[in-house]
């Protein structure tokens, strides 16, 4: 393979780049030049990028986010969850918590037996322990 510089590959790559990639590359070059000239602080630029990225995150309603304050485009961007789906997600998250507790605290992650019946019994004993923990927490 020839180790010399192949300008045809570079030209093809430049043609294939989308306008968004070109704009990002130009912006990166501008930022590098400002940092090199001492006109911009790299830490301040990173902080500004982080703040700009956080603007695109949906506000957490429990912390005072209000859907009425959103612009029309942001409201369209959000996906509305049907109440039945909310209930399903809530139940699913409870199941996932139990599964995680089984794996982390009751031997579900590393099962050292072979065979479907033995594995089933091993996990069932773990679930039994979780049920006893829950019952003792209620009493």
* pLDDT for residue 131 is more than 80: yes
Q: Angle 19-37/42-55 helices, nearest 10 degrees?
A: 150
Query: Which pair of structure tokens corresponds to residue 48?
Result: 């500004």
Q: Write the pLDDT tens digit of every residue in 103-129.
A: 999 999 999 999 999 999 999 999 999
- Is residue 90 within 8 A of residue 70, CB to CB? The reply is no
Share of the chain above pLDDT 90, in %: 31
pTM for this predicted structure: 0.42
In the 3-class helix/strand/coil scheme, how is the chain assigned residue by residue? Answer: CCCCCCHHHHHHHHHHCCHHHHHHHHHHHHHHHHHHHCCCCHHHHHHHHHHHHHHCCCCCHHHCCCHHHCCHHHHHHCCCCCHHHHHHHHHHHHHHHHHHHHHHHCCCCCCCCCCHHHHHHHHHHHHHHHHHHHHHHHC
CA distance 109 to 47: 40
Least confident of 20-24, 51-55, 60-64, 110-114: 60-64
Q: Which residue did the predictor score with more confidence, 37 or 57?
A: 37
């Amino acid at each position: 393979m020839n180790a010399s510089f192949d300008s045809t590959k570079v030209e093809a790559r430049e043609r294939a780049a989308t306008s968004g990639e070109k704009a990002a590359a130009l912006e990166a070059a501008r930022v590098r030049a400002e940092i090199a000239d001492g006109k911009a602080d790299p830490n301040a630029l990173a902080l500004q990028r982080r703040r700009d990225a956080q603007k695109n995150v949906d506000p957490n309603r429990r912390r005072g986010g209000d859907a009425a304050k959103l612009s029309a485009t942001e409201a369209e961007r959000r996906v509305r969850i049907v109440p039945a789906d909310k209930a399903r997600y809530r139940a699913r998250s409870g199941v996932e918590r139990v599964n995680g507790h089984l794996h982390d605290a009751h031997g579900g992650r590393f099962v050292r037996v072979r065979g479907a019946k033995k594995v089933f019994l091993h996990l069932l004993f773990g679930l039994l322990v979780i049920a006893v923990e829950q019952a003792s927490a209620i009493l």
